[in-house]
Amino acid sequence: MLNPEVSKLLNEQVNKEFYSAYLYMDMANYYADQSLNGFEHWFIVQMQEERDHALLFRQYLLNNGEQVVLTQIAGPESGYKNFKEPLTKALEHEQFVTASINTIYEAAYKNKDFRTMQFLDWFIKEQGEEEKNADDNIKRYDLFAGDPKGLYMLDNEFKARVYTAPSLVLD
């Protein structure tokens, strides 16, 4: 069993990770609609990663004898002004998720829940990568997507992203 405060936050994180998957699918849908299939693909891979994160939180709760309580997932705010907007919204969202993981970490620390702190270590590192990727996408867009040819090439580059399962495995 876990401390109730920690357990509640971990449960909320399951929802947040599924929301992240939902948000990135919405972004993928936007790019599909704009025929930017590389951008679409990049966000579909991102969606898969978020689903994996949700499942890791689920498994951790179950492994510690906690109930997993699924709650309603909010619909993302749809509609983007331009090709860059999802990229900046993605970075903002990752910063929000980082803050959320940090909040759980703080609660675990306060409650001397060293096991949860160790579990969260993977996510602390992962969030660093997530923010960097999102930031890189914005920088690349600014550098290369200023004309149709550059946009086409960036789209092709995004097409090459390969999904890999998370390095953290919970049985």
Q: In angstroms, give the least distance from the CB of 20 to ligand FEO.
A: 5
Could you give the CA distance from residue 145 to residue 54 in angstroms, rounded to a whole number? Answer: 33
Q: In angstroms, give the least distance from the CB of 116 to ligand FEO.
A: 17
The contact set with ligand FEO (CB under 6 A) reads 17, 20, 50, 53, 94, 97, 130
Spatial neighbors of 66 by CB under 8 A, at least 6 apart, are: 1, 2, 7, 10, 11
Could you give the CA distance from residue 59 to residue 91 in angstroms, rounded to a whole number? Answer: 27
Q: In angstroms, give the least distance from the CB of 154 to ligand FEO.
A: 21
Could you give the CA distance from residue 3 to residue 6 in angstroms, rounded to a whole number? Answer: 5
Asked if residue 67 belongs to a known ligand binding site, the reply is no
Asked if residue 53 belongs to a known ligand binding site, the reply is yes
Which is closer to ligand FEO, CB of 149 or CB of 163? Answer: 163
Asked if residue 85 belongs to a known ligand binding site, the reply is no
Asked if residue 94 belongs to a known ligand binding site, the reply is yes
Distance of CA 45 to the CA centre of its chain: 10
- The one-letter code for the residue type at 4 is P
Q: Which residue is nearest to ligand FEO (CB)?
A: 53
Annotated binding site for Fe cation: 17, 50, 53, 94, 127
